Amino acid sequence: MCTQTSQFALLLSHTPLVPTVPVQGVLKLMNQLDHFQSVDKQQLLETEGYKVWRDIVSGRALEHPELLNRSLLLAYIDLKKFLYYFWFAFPALSLKYEMDRPGIPLSAHRSQTYVDHMLATHVRQGRPAFFCIVDTDGLDPDADGEVVELKAWEAAVDKPNRRLTVGFLDPSTHPQHPGWPLRNLLALVRFHTHARVDVIDVVCLRKNFRNGQASTERSIAFKLGHQVAVQMAMPKIVGWERNVKGKLGPRVVNLGASMDPRTLAESAIDLNLSLMKWRILPGLDLDVIKDTKCLLLGAGTLGCNVARCLMGWGVRHITFVDNGYVSYSNPARQSLFSFKDCIGGGTEKAIAAAANLAEIFPGMVTEGHHMSIPMPGHSVAQSEEAEIRQTVDKLSDLIAAHDVVYLLMDTRESRWLPTLLCQSMNKLALNAALGFDQYMVMRHGTQKSQDDVRLGCYFCNDVVAPANSTKDRTLDQQCTVTRPGLSFMASALATELMVSVLQHPLK
């Protein structure tokens, strides 16, 4: 609770100009909407209101007046639709008082000298939320008023020639009526003074700021007379806030319509992963997955499906490398391509995969590189040597800039050079390959594993160097012939293998 301000410059100040008041409260967050609607609101309010009454009766509220301010927030959040249901309550003790007239401006009630002196002593006291004003001469309305702690009220009640006034920092903006915190303050005063005081002077101190200068021109003052005395029984508790229709009921805020669509997409993706962590795997480190940079060598059937799985795990950095173009046979099995990518001879696969991945989720940091990976067994003309060296250097730079490398190409020999580079750079390499009704997924690349045992790679059992496996292939042999479902299985296992390695304590 604080007085109003709209000055942005105040937020930059180390010393707050606006008086702030600590408010103790309870947040009750419900798991289901029907629980939010059916919970006993009156019981919740009375429970918090009893705490205020207990502190008044025990005298703790005199020593610590901030205990008079309590709050209750009942809430339910629909994280999928971004609907926020909430209902505020500020428990207050309901007592009856006679108000001789509406509040008048403080400047009309007392002289400016009195007001200035009161404000100065209020600052010296640390700007308390609730306080007393003791006049040095009760017969002189212009006598200086000293701001003292609230607990000094009872000691000064019986002293002669003393005019006693209670004051509080008032959040209300109504020109004639006080704010809600006054209710509990009056209950405290009435309980501890009993019949010794028939009339209570009240100052509602309202501070606002204009051009960096504090002003109290909105402050008001008035007199109150008691109709009934406070007995030992707790008074009725009120305090639930009214909604925008002016009725007792919760408020609903739909943030989905006002939020950035990219932010909505990112939070929705993160929500599914967070639920996994909250409900099943408390030790799951989502940040290490999110920050992992993945290089996908091959943007075909395996490359598209691996990218989809990585995105589902929250990976944000994916780079594609491929030398092919999208053909009309690709979109049916390769999930990142569509018919428009095939028109006009086909778009470069790596470029199209990166662009389409960003369309699915704009928060992805993705790029594509159209390049051919040098392979053993494939002859190179002397005129192409410089270009091949540049390609090797570029591939080396890409592998060095990423944390995990996926080998998802069509041929065995195309995996040979990346395998050597991953081994030399100690990069985690994940290899996936498809047959007709078989598939293979393995990891290697890291130099040492547990117990100092070196991991084997894709070529460890070869007795001869890789050869050109694409030479003299007929049309039916140029395409990968495999059962459609195997690519999803192999891609999923390769992704899950990476996640398992990243979560391992010995990673």
Greater confidence (351 vs 163) lies with: 351
Asked if 41 and 74 touch (Cβ cutoff 8 Å), the reply is yes
> What integer best gives the mean pLDDT of the chain?
82
pLDDT of 224 reads 80
Average pLDDT of the residues in 290-300? 95
Greater confidence (191 vs 162) lies with: 191
The 10s digit of each residue's pLDDT in 21-68 is 778 889 999 999 999 999 999 999 999 999 999 999 888 988 888 899
> Is-catalytic flag, 479?
yes
The 10s digit of each residue's pLDDT in 321-362 is 999 999 998 999 999 999 999 998 889 999 999 999 999 998
pLDDT of 499 reads 94
pLDDT of 301 reads 93
Residue 3 has pLDDT above 50, yes or no: no
Q: Which of 19-23, 182-186, 445-449 reaches the highest mean pLDDT?
A: 182-186
CATH fold, domain 8-254, is: Cytidine Deaminase; domain 2 (3.40.140)
pLDDT of 2 reads 34
Average pLDDT of the residues in 481-503? 91
pLDDT of 118 reads 77
The residues pairing with 404 across neighbouring beta strands, listed in sequence order, are: 294, 428
Least confident of 182-186, 261-265, 318-322, 384-388: 261-265
Q: How confident is the model at residue 100 (pLDDT cuts 50, 70, 90)?
A: low
What is the three-class DSSP state of 68? Answer: helix
Tell me which of 3.40.190.290, 3.10.20.30, 3.40.640.10, 3.40.50.720 is the CATH number of domain 263-503: 3.40.50.720
Greater confidence (176 vs 292) lies with: 292
CA distance 466 to 378: 10
Q: How confident is the model at residue 302 (pLDDT cuts 50, 70, 90)?
A: very high
Asked if 320 and 368 touch (Cβ cutoff 8 Å), the reply is yes
Residue 10 has pLDDT above 60, yes or no: no
CA distances from 332 to 12, 301, 304, 337, 460 (A): 57, 10, 12, 8, 35
Residue 366 has pLDDT above 60, yes or no: yes
Q: Is this structure's pTM higher than 0.85?
A: no
pLDDT of 220 reads 86
Least confident of 122-136, 181-195, 197-211, 216-230: 216-230
CA distance 4 to 170: 10
pLDDT of 300 reads 92
pLDDT of 272 reads 83
pLDDT of 40 reads 94
Average pLDDT of the residues in 66-83? 90
Asked if 39 and 29 touch (Cβ cutoff 8 Å), the reply is no
Dihedral angle at the C-alpha atoms of 73, 74, 77, 83, nearest 10 degrees? Answer: -80
**Number of helices followed by number of strands (H, E) in the chain:** 15, 20
Per cent of the chain over pLDDT 70 is 81
- Of the residues 132, 309, 422, 479, only one is catalytic, namely 479
Helices (H), 446-483: 475-478
Tell me how far apart the 2 most distant CA atoms of the chain are, in Å: 116
Per domain, the residue ranges of the chain are: 8-254, 263-503
Q: How does DSSP assign 95-153, residue by residue?
A: --EEESS--EEHHHHS-HHHHHHHHHHHHHTT--SEEEEEES-TT-TTS-EEEE-TTHH
The 10s digit of each residue's pLDDT in 146-160 is 778 877 776 666 666
Closest to 180 (Cα-Cα) out of 125, 230, 225, 242: 242
Greater confidence (408 vs 4) lies with: 408
Assigned token pair, 46: 């009375």
Q: Which of 262-271, 413-422, 438-447 reaches the highest mean pLDDT?
A: 413-422
